[in-house]
Amino acid sequence: MSGKGRRIAIVTGASSGLGVEFAKQVDVSYELDEIWLVARREEKLRNTAGMLKKAKPVVLPLDLSKRESIKTISEMLDETKADVRVLINNAGFAKKGDFWEISLEKQLTMVDLNVRAMVHLCHICVPHMTRGAHIVNVASMAAFFVLKSMTTYGATKAFVLHYTYGLRKSLSKKGIHVTCCAPGPVKTEFFLVATEGKEDDMVLSVEPEGVVALALRDVASNKKLSIFSGAMRTGYLFRRYDPKDEED
């Protein structure tokens, strides 16, 4: 099915933060006809589109927590016979607080966006990929730790990590590179969303440019994990696996 149509990249969560930076750097790093920019906020997506220098932007204001949105993308892929060269699964969000204080609706939407949408997008894109295509799934350093204040978020990112490791083994025979990007705190609106506008500790936060640049280098080198900054790599080395390790 793949390789017959226009060469495209798909970047989700492309309205802000890492998604904007992925779109910009994918644009200059790959030879593409189009970059499909996916997120809910159309105006912000159009701002991202205006930053592209080479590929034609395709603005898709879709809520990926809803299955019909991914059906829309699937139909577009089939209609255009697109050759998906790059898939950046970046869309996701967190809510910070005790588990019982965060509404069930928000937690289930978090699972739908952070987990189900990623799996669904991989499933519809892989048939449109050929050897040399790249997938970056954005997890978090939260994937390696037990977080009392972001229980559901941390669990979704642990899923992203393990799913990505399994997917790269499955796709290795097809010559498709799959990398998990696991950043620590990044200077984006992430914590504003997680805390609903409250002040939050941004110690050791980094700029998104470096995180994205390393992730794209690492997927090109077919590395399974991309962790930016020495502080986060040190944290990874001392990660905890057993929930009993965290003090109550």
Catalytic residues: 153
Contact 23, 46 (CB under 8 A): no
Q: Tokens 């970056």 map to which residue?
A: 136
- Count of beta carbons in the 10 Å neighbourhood of residue 202: 12
Kindly provide the b/e burial profile for residues 160-171, where b requires at least 16 CB atoms within 10 angstroms of the residue's own CB.
Answer: bbebbeebbeeb
Kindly provide the b/e burial profile for residues 110-135, where b requires at least 16 CB atoms within 10 angstroms of the residue's own CB.
Answer: bbbbbbbbbebbbebbbebbeeebbb
Handedness of CA 166, 169, 175, 181 (dihedral sign): positive
Contact 114, 160 (CB under 8 A): yes
Contacts (Cβ under 8 Å, ≥6 apart) of 27: 35, 51, 52, 53, 54, 55
Contact 231, 211 (CB under 8 A): no
Residue 151 to residue 4: CA distance in whole angstroms: 43
